[in-house]
Structure 1
Amino acid sequence: MSDTARIADPSRIVRRRWLIWSSLMAIYLIGAFHRVAPAVIAKDLMSTFHTSGAVLGALSSSYFYVYSIMQIPSGILADTVGPRRTIAAGAVVMAIGTGVFSAAPSLAYCFAGRFLIGLGVSVVMVNAMRVCVEWYRTDEMGLINGLITTVGAVGGLLAATPLAVLSEAVGWRLSFILIGAVSLVLGWNGWVVVRNKPADCGLPFSNGGTDKGGDSSHTLGSVWEGVRMVVKNPYTWPPFFGFLSFYSTLMAFVGLWGVPFISQQYGLPNKDAANYVMVGSLGLLLGCPVVGYLSDRVLVRRRLPYVLFAVAYVGVWAVLCFVGGGKPPLASLYCVTFFMGFFCSGFTLSLVCTKEANPGHLAGIAMGTTNTGGFLGAAVLQVALGRILDLFWDGRIVDGVRAYPLQGYRAAFATCLAVSLIGVLASLLIKETRCENYCAAI
């Protein structure tokens, strides 16, 4: 078959795929917003519900627990039900959860709302990647994955200073009601615009990827056989643990404990402390397309950029733990948080590495498996750091909120440093695919 027959009107395909991508990313942006929002409203939550650090960590991590549990099921849904239906339903559940969270009369309702938010968001990333696998070429996937994570970083930016300003103006409850309404609108838009593959739009485009050697129609037996193949593949696990290392530690700082640390240790108002966390999200935003471009176009490698970014990321945590006795000079803090986000962007290669090391028709299951690592790690680490801080708490309360000593934060961040070292080891074991689909011998 000629290229002309395979790709009719390439410009139409390009326009349509970016419209679909934008619709998916609008939903994903709201989901990423929810991941780090507790950092900014931590003081409000602790004051309203009189919580300890461990309980606040558990509340924040409830999002990550359900997210991590849902990643393999999300991959199965992507390969069976299809991304369009799955993502639209996820957006509706996310909106309902946001409403429950915003109106919560007690901590139990907060947990329920946060759980529903995590459940709705949990299906978006893997299913969006599944759509991209069908609409984009293999040699574009590193960049696309970087751009997706960039959108996530924008969500993190919006959940920092902008949320702090909005919450100060109208209160945290009304802020989340507005966010829930936006989620509903974006879910409807996704249903109208998104199509799972070019053939659904009458576009005979083949990217030479996922349909090669695989059947897109799955029985229950074939789904579980696919899960077994992915889990037994040794090349699945280095990206899994690399993503766990990168993402869990970043979420521990940017997603929860960064704002309280900066506010309490440097004596800054909540809104000003959020600016430093926002710079971390900005670093992630800029780093994601950089690492994707380096991997796809400059180095044409996966392992090398992963290793370089992992090593540099460990260096940033070392600075935060040891410079100034665990309290770097305020003038340097913008640099520290920026480079924390920038070098953490290496994790964006994790899903691509897993996809390329597994059979193409199992792309959804493979990416879902790896995605579990980062969110399971974030769930566990946020609670663990809360408990560490509670162990160091000396009973001091400021404005109805527990004030933790520097020694507590230093112990918590030293734990993050140890976890980040796992990422360096994992990066050295990643299968080098040279940016091509590689079906590992299993």
Structure 2
Amino acid sequence: MTATDPNRSSPGWRAWLIWIVAVAAYVLAIVNRSSLSAVGVDAAGRFHADAATLSLFAVVQLAVYGGMQIPIGVLLDRYGSRPIMVIGMLLMSVGQLVMALSPSIGVAIVARMLLGAGDAAVFPAVVRLVATWFPAQRGPIMVQLTGIAGQSGQLVALLPLAALLHSTTWTITFGSVAGLGVLFAILVWAIIRNRPPEHAEDVSVNTETGVIRVVTSSIDTGVGIRAAWAHPGTRLAFWSHFTTPFAGTAFLLLWGMPYLTEGEGLSAAAAASLVSLNVLVAMLLGPVLGELSRRVPTRRSLALVIPSIGVQVLGWLLVIFWPGAAPLWLLVVLVVCLGAGGPASMIAFDHARTHNPAHRLSTATGVTNSGGFLAALTAIFLIGLALDLQGAGTPSTYSMGAFRWAFLTQLPLWALGTTMIIIERKHTRIRIGLDPERRRRA
């Protein structure tokens, strides 16, 4: 029997092999995405960059990643996962090679743009492979497993990549990552196929009902985007994804390691262990929050989203206003609190799926996803700008006090997002009939 035969509920060995290769490529994409997280201080020294300029590396990368989501969806519909993943891996390889040889900040920023464009292609392509090679009933759990496995790429970026850099050179380190990308592009082309051979197009099979649906990932534009945004449930999803993950993203993607080493005075190994703990907490909390979201569909915002924001704010405020250097136990509390943001942000996609019809789901998902990227790039840039304004924009001038004041720039983003979540939650509950509509005064 084939991997997606309607008479069986279990995927065949070929489906699992394709998924394993695709997930391995996704792990490498996360390594590429996070490759500056452990070497931010080294990058600042290499390019003689102040904090605001250094933050541009992450800002342009995230901006390109978010901006490529719509084109990637269209290309996936036309060509399928295999060629798009190969192109994505090659783009990341070119980006890392340019980074390895870059003589200036301008060229390095172009390298991060190439990396963001390539990275944008990988996860949507893997999700599409899950839909076409696995029974439809297994889709949610397979996507969760893909996301959890991908987080291990951050651990690779934090530990082995930093160790390689400090034992060799910048060019060898980033050149090695570029070479891995080429090898994985070849592996993806050799192993992965867009769909099982018995299907003429990408389809998702429900093995319980026999229903076969064509898989689409493109984001419709114009009317679709306006219609999606008009529903308060989509706006609730946008602000939930805007508010929950940005602090953890800013910490992991750029500012965590410089703060822990240059600000709090930890060794590189101790700082990397703390950031690794953040990743592990996120991986462990993902399934837990996913199950809780399923069980309390009408109370997700109050029971899960807002509390996850609250613990992040509390964690940062305790560290920021602690007299003197924060003790290790308090830094552990901080990274655990930040670890809740990523899994909580996935609840936003539950909102988007719940409140939008199937034909508009990809549009709503794209709108939701943009919220997190907008908040993250804003936070990263504001932290860098705040460091510069305090005269602490280079590794030689980084200080604990400057970092703590810089991290306070996250508070307005949390305040804005939380306020909008409360407002749009009320509008959503009125829209779906859970709360009565307020009567206007005569």
TM-score by length of 2: 0.82
Inter-CA distance 426–132: structure 2 relative to 1 (3 Å threshold):
farther
Over the aligned positions, Cα root-mean-square deviation in angstroms equals: 3.4
Q: How does 1:401-420 map to 2 (within 5 A)?
A: 401-420=395-414
Give me the whole-angstrom Cα distance separating, in 2, the residues matched to 1:95 and 1:75. 21
Residue matched to 1:239: 237
Report the more deviating stretch, 130-139 or 77-86: 130-139
Residue matched to 2:343: 345
Contact residue 52 and residue 402 of structure 1 kept, 8 A: no
Q: Which of 181, 188, 191 does residue 190 from structure 1 map onto?
A: 188
- The residue type paired with residue 402 of structure 2 is G
Inter-CA distance 109–132: structure 2 relative to 1 (3 Å threshold):
same
Is structure 2 residue 268 aligned with structure 1 residue 270? yes
Inter-CA distance 303–147: structure 2 relative to 1 (3 Å threshold):
farther
**DSSP 3-state at the match of 2:34:** helix
Shift in Å at residue 120 of structure 1? 0.6
Q: Which of 281, 284, 304 does residue 282 from structure 2 map onto?
A: 284
Give me the whole-angstrom Cα distance separating, in 1, the residues matched to 2:348 and 2:180. 30
Residue matched to 2:304: 308
Report the more deviating stretch, 252-261 or 232-241: 232-241
Residue matched to 1:41: 39
Residue matched to 1:147: 145
Residue matched to 2:205: 206
Residue matched to 2:162: 164
Q: Which of 107, 112, 119 does residue 105 from structure 2 map onto?
A: 107
Contact residue 73 and residue 218 of structure 2 kept, 8 A: no
Shift in Å at residue 100 of structure 1? 0.7
Inter-CA distance 247–32: structure 2 relative to 1 (3 Å threshold):
farther
Residue matched to 1:437: none
- The residue type paired with residue 206 of structure 1 is V
Report the more deviating stretch, 402-411 or 245-254: 402-411
Give me the whole-angstrom Cα distance separating, in 1, the residues matched to 2:218 and 2:409. 43
Give me the whole-angstrom Cα distance separating, in 2, the residues matched to 1:280 and 1:360. 34
Residue matched to 1:176: 174
Inter-CA distance 65–306: structure 2 relative to 1 (3 Å threshold):
farther
Q: Which of 354, 371, 374 does residue 373 from structure 1 map onto?
A: 371
Give me the whole-angstrom Cα distance separating, in 2, the residues matched to 1:232 and 1:199. 41
Inter-CA distance 282–235: structure 2 relative to 1 (3 Å threshold):
same
Give me the whole-angstrom Cα distance separating, in 2, the residues matched to 1:85 and 1:101. 24
Report the more deviating stretch, 312-321 or 417-426: 417-426
Give me the whole-angstrom Cα distance separating, in 1, the residues matched to 2:369 and 2:122. 11
- The residue type paired with residue 320 of structure 1 is W
Is structure 2 residue 6 aligned with structure 1 residue 7? yes
TM-score by length of 1: 0.82
Q: How does 1:346-365 map to 2 (within 5 A)?
A: 346-365=344-363
Contact residue 86 and residue 188 of structure 2 kept, 8 A: yes
Structure showing greater relative contact order (alpha-carbon pairs closer than 8 Å, 6 or more residues apart) = 1
Give me the whole-angstrom Cα distance separating, in 1, the residues matched to 2:163 and 2:342. 27
Give me the whole-angstrom Cα distance separating, in 2, the residues matched to 1:302 and 1:256. 35
Inter-CA distance 347–95: structure 2 relative to 1 (3 Å threshold):
same
Larger helix percent = 1
Inter-CA distance 80–200: structure 2 relative to 1 (3 Å threshold):
farther
Shift in Å at residue 219 of structure 1? 11
Give me the whole-angstrom Cα distance separating, in 2, the residues matched to 1:213 and 1:15. 21
Residue matched to 1:68: 66
- The residue type paired with residue 315 of structure 2 is V
Shift in Å at residue 51 of structure 1? 0.7
Q: Which ranges of structure 1 fall in alignment gaps of 5 or more residues? A: 433-442
Identity of aligned residues (%): 26
Inter-CA distance 249–137: structure 2 relative to 1 (3 Å threshold):
farther
Contact residue 166 and residue 175 of structure 1 kept, 8 A: yes
**DSSP 3-state at the match of 1:80:** helix
Shift in Å at residue 276 of structure 1? 1.4
Residue matched to 2:83: 85
Between Structure 1 and Structure 2, how many residues are aligned? 419
CA deviation map 1:46-82 (0-9, x unaligned)? 1111110000001222111101111222223333333
Give me the whole-angstrom Cα distance separating, in 2, the residues matched to 1:415 and 1:76. 36
Contact residue 27 and residue 153 of structure 2 kept, 8 A: yes
Give me the whole-angstrom Cα distance separating, in 2, the residues matched to 1:97 and 1:238. 35
**DSSP 3-state at the match of 1:159:** helix
Shift in Å at residue 384 of structure 1? 1.4
Give me the whole-angstrom Cα distance separating, in 1, the residues matched to 2:377 and 2:320. 29
Residue matched to 1:320: 316
- The residue type paired with residue 316 of structure 1 is Q
Shift in Å at residue 309 of structure 1? 4.7
Give me the whole-angstrom Cα distance separating, in 1, the residues matched to 2:48 and 2:113. 20
Shift in Å at residue 14 of structure 1? 4.9
Contact residue 132 and residue 203 of structure 2 kept, 8 A: no
- The residue type paired with residue 69 of structure 2 is Q
Inter-CA distance 58–247: structure 2 relative to 1 (3 Å threshold):
same
- The residue type paired with residue 113 of structure 1 is A
Inter-CA distance 191–413: structure 2 relative to 1 (3 Å threshold):
same
Inter-CA distance 376–16: structure 2 relative to 1 (3 Å threshold):
farther
Contact residue 75 and residue 365 of structure 1 kept, 8 A: no
Contact residue 145 and residue 352 of structure 1 kept, 8 A: no
Give me the whole-angstrom Cα distance separating, in 2, the residues matched to 1:407 and 1:182. 40
Contact residue 98 and residue 177 of structure 1 kept, 8 A: yes
- The residue type paired with residue 9 of structure 2 is P
Contact residue 142 and residue 293 of structure 1 kept, 8 A: no
Report the more deviating stretch, 55-64 or 150-159: 150-159
Inter-CA distance 124–227: structure 2 relative to 1 (3 Å threshold):
farther
Give me the whole-angstrom Cα distance separating, in 2, the residues matched to 1:306 and 1:139. 29
Give me the whole-angstrom Cα distance separating, in 1, the residues matched to 2:193 and 2:301. 32
**DSSP 3-state at the match of 2:37:** helix
Give me the whole-angstrom Cα distance separating, in 1, the residues matched to 2:87 and 2:330. 44
